[in-house]
């Protein structure tokens, strides 16, 4: 058993989905998350057992609405989608072939997707092709995660675009920035998976565009509207995080030999491990809490509670944390600001800035 398997223990591994992989890019500096995801640990079950369940998951109403919108976009062999692709990509798409990969048995879908993509990449004709429900694979810490996106890959002239269909509304040309950012991170996972598939097949991976087509309902009506979203930044973060996960050995090396996050499931599948013991085990890994965790990671309430107890600057957000580089807690920052605490080596500059800020604050209040 390798060390990652030992960290998970007897709890069955949790397969990664695109949402989980996308969330890796949301907090690339967190060793705790990298370890838990690398070991395939069910963070949701862990958080529940610790008494810190996170309220993730869509309501049944939102799921129904999302399914209805997706069906509308894909109706009649993706006719509506094709109209939008012509507009947004400014391409003279005369006609397209439509392949619904879902019609193939589940175990064959990945092989079938590869064969279709390979054929399209070799095709010298300028014909378009839409692939519905392709099954993509991405290697995460030595395991292949299969991604079943509600997504369409569109190919024209040997260039591929990922199309992501989301049910959040675009109102007067504006959408919720957090929802767009999450969709961009998720689409970046598909771009990366498709690029790796092309590379394995001997084609240029850059034939998959970094501009993804995001399709959303417009102005509360169900009329779909498409926008191009550049996901290069999300791709860079994701690749960095995945390469870091394949190098998890370094993170594991620093952990105590006996450390495990095993939930010790009983015969009924429910955890039997004392929650306090599990919490202690988790605290031996380094977390990098940020308020963004609240929308991306199942352990968010546990890590927020830990950061609160430590009075960590992390609670104030990434920008403040980065600006206070080298100052771990709010108490330390306040001590440096009012001069009651002497700066440690390397803290002289931040201490000088904090004292200036404190002096200005006092002058303003006076």
Comparison of 191 and 287: residue with beta carbon closer to ligand SF4: 287
Q: Does 25 bind ligand SF4 (CB under 6 A)?
A: no
Q: How far is the CB of 311 from ligand SF4 (least distance, A)?
A: 16
Place of tokens 């930044």: 233
Q: Does 300 bind ligand SF4 (CB under 6 A)?
A: yes
Interaction with ligand SF4 in 160-199: which residues (CB under 6 A)? none
CA contacts within 13 A on the Cβ side of 283: 14
Q: How many residues bind ligand SF4 (CB under 6 A)?
A: 12
Q: Are 311 and 288 in contact (CB under 8 A)?
A: no
Comparison of 50 and 337: residue with beta carbon closer to ligand SF4: 50
Q: How far is the CB of 51 from ligand SF4 (least distance, A)?
A: 15
Q: Are 215 and 157 in contact (CB under 8 A)?
A: no
Q: Does 7 bind ligand SF4 (CB under 6 A)?
A: no
Q: Are 181 and 214 in contact (CB under 8 A)?
A: no
Given candidates 3, 14, 16, 33, which one binds ligand SF4 under the rule CB under 6 A?
Answer: 33
Retrieve residue 344's tokens: 């440690």
CA distances 195 to 117, 121, 190, 230, 351, Å, are 11, 12, 8, 15, 46
Q: Does 287 bind ligand SF4 (CB under 6 A)?
A: yes
CB proximity list for 67: less than 8 A, separation 6 or greater: none
Q: How many other C-beta atoms can be found within 10 angstroms of the C-beta atom of residue 284? A: 12
Q: How far is the CB of 265 from ligand SF4 (least distance, A)?
A: 21
Q: Does 32 bind ligand SF4 (CB under 6 A)?
A: yes
Given candidates 216, 278, 299, 354, which one binds ligand SF4 under the rule CB under 6 A?
Answer: 299
Given candidates 297, 333, 350, 354, which one binds ligand SF4 under the rule CB under 6 A?
Answer: 297
Comparison of 222 and 295: residue with beta carbon closer to ligand SF4: 295
151 bridge partner residues = 164
Place of tokens 């085990």: 281
Given candidates 214, 303, 333, 336, which one binds ligand SF4 under the rule CB under 6 A?
Answer: 303
Q: How far is the CB of 48 from ligand SF4 (least distance, A)?
A: 14
Q: How many other C-beta atoms can be found within 10 angstroms of the C-beta atom of residue 331? A: 14
DSSP string, 264-313: -B-TTS-B-S-HHHHHHHHHTS-----GGGGGT-TTHHHHHHHHHHHTBG
Given candidates 156, 163, 293, 324, which one binds ligand SF4 under the rule CB under 6 A?
Answer: 293
Q: Are 47 and 303 in contact (CB under 8 A)?
A: no
Q: How far is the CB of 267 from ligand SF4 (least distance, A)?
A: 29
Comparison of 294 and 353: residue with beta carbon closer to ligand SF4: 294
Q: In what order do the strands lie in the sheet with 211-217?
A: 96-100, 128-132, 151-156, 159-165, 211-217, 224-230
Q: How far is the CB of 231 from ligand SF4 (least distance, A)?
A: 20
Q: Are 210 and 220 in contact (CB under 8 A)?
A: no
- The dihedral through the CA atoms of 50, 55, 61, 65 has a sign that is negative
- Binding characters for ligand SF4, 118-157, by CB under 6 A (x = yes): ----------------------------------------
Q: How far is the CB of 328 from ligand SF4 (least distance, A)?
A: 14
Interface region with ligand SF4, contact rule CB under 6 A, candidates 9-17, 191-199, 282-290, 336-344: 282-290
Please state, in angstroms and rounded to a whole number, the distance separating the CA atoms of residues 354 and 335: 9
Given candidates 203, 289, 324, 333, which one binds ligand SF4 under the rule CB under 6 A?
Answer: 289
Q: How far is the CB of 304 from ligand SF4 (least distance, A)?
A: 7
In the complex, the residues that contact ligand SF4 under the rule CB under 6 A are 27, 30, 32-33, 287-289, 293, 297, 299-300, 303
């Amino acid at each position: 058993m390798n060390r990652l398997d030992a960290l998970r223990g007897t709890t069955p591994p949790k397969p990664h989905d695109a949402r989980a992989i996308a969330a890796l890019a949301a907090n690339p500096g967190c060793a705790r998350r990298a370890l838990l995801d690398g070991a395939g640990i069910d963070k949701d079950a862990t958080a529940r057992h610790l008494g810190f369940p996170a309220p993730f998951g869509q309501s049944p109403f939102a799921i129904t609405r999302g399914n209805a919108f997706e069906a509308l976009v894909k109706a009649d062999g993706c006719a509506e989608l094709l109209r939008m692709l012509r507009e947004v990509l400014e391409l003279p798409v005369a006609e397209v072939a439509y392949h619904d990969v879902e019609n193939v048995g589940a175990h064959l879908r990945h092989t079938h997707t590869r064969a279709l993509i390979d054929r399209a990449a070799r095709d010298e004709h300028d014909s378009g092709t839409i692939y519905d429900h392709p099954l993509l694979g991405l290697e995460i810490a030595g395991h292949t995660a299969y991604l079943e996106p509600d997504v369409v890959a569109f190919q024209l002239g040997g260039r591929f675009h990922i199309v992501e269909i989301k049910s959040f509304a675009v109102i007067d040309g504006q959408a919720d920035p957090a929802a767009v950012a999450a969709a961009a991170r998720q689409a970046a996972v598909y771009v990366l998976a498709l690029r790796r598939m092309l590379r394995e097949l001997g084609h240029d991976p850059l034939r998959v565009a970094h501009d993804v087509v995001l399709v959303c309902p417009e102005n509360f009506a169900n009329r779909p509207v498409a926008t191009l979203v550049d996901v290069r930044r999300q791709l860079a973060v994701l690749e960095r995080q995945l390469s870091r996960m394949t190098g998890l050995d370094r993170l594991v090396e620093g952990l105590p030999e006996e450390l495990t996050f095993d939930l010790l499931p009983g015969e009924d599948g429910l955890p039997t491990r004392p929650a306090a013991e599990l919490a202690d085990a988790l605290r031996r890994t380094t977390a990098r809490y940020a308020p963004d965790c609240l929308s991306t990671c199942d352990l968010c309430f546990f890590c927020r509670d830990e950061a609160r107890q430590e009075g960590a600057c992390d609670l104030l957000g990434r920008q403040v944390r980065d600006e206070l580089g080298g100052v771990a807690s709010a108490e330390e920052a306040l001590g440096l600001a009012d001069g009651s605490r002497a700066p440690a080596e390397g803290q002289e500059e931040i201490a000088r800035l904090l004292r200036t800020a404190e002096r200005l604050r006092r002058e303003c209040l006076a």
